[in-house]
Amino acid sequence: MNGVPMMQAKLIPYLEFENAKEAITYYEQVFGATDAYRVSPTADEVEQFGLEPTMNLAEMTMSGGFRVMGLDIQCADALMGQPTSSTLVSLMIAVDEQDSEGVKALTDLYQHLLKSDIKAISPFTTQTAGGKMGQVVDAYGITWILREQPMLLDN
C-alpha cells in the first residue's frame, strides 16, 4: 500500500450491553459461544468512569468476550450510557464454501439459531454470487450474517 509497511492487525467486534454478564450467558446458550470470560471493574475504574460507588462490581463487566465458531468477540457493559442497537453494523461469519467442515458448522449454527429466540431475516439459501447466506437478528438487535462463499483471503 503506497509505502505503508504491512503489519499484522485483526478486526475484533466489540459489543456494549446494558448487562454484558447476561449477554455472555445468552451467547453461550444460544450461539454455542466458547472461551467466555469477563472482568469486573475495580473501585479505581468505577471512580475513573464516574459511576456510582455503591454499584455491585461483581455484576458489572469492564471487559469480557467469547468465541463463536472460533472467532473472537469482545464486550463490556455500556458504562457511558444506555446502549442502542443499530442497523449500521452487522456481524458476518464467513466460511470458504470448499471447507466442508466449516460449511457444516455454519449450517448447523443457522439451524440451531432457528430453534431459539432468534428472528430470521433471510433464509440460509444459495446466492446469485455463489455460496449460501442467511441473516438473523439476536435478542440484542444484532444482525448476524452467516455466509459460505468462494475462497476467503488469508487473515
What the chain holds in terms of domains, given with CATH numbers, is 14-77 (3.10.180.10), 91-149 (3.10.180.10)
Residue for grid cell 464467513: 94
Cα pseudo-dihedral 153, 110, 143, 10, rounded to 10: -30
pLDDT at position 68: 97
> pLDDT tens for residues 2-32?
666 767 788 899 999 999 999 999 999 999 9
Report the distance separating Cα 127 and Cα 130, nearest Å: 5
Q: Which of 47-51, 56-60, 119-123, 128-132 has the highest mean pLDDT?
A: 119-123
pLDDT at 106: 95
Express each pLDDT in 124-141 by its tens digit.
999 888 889 999 999 999
Return the pLDDT at 152: 57
User: CB-based contacts of 154: which residues, under 8 Å, 6+ apart?
Assistant: none
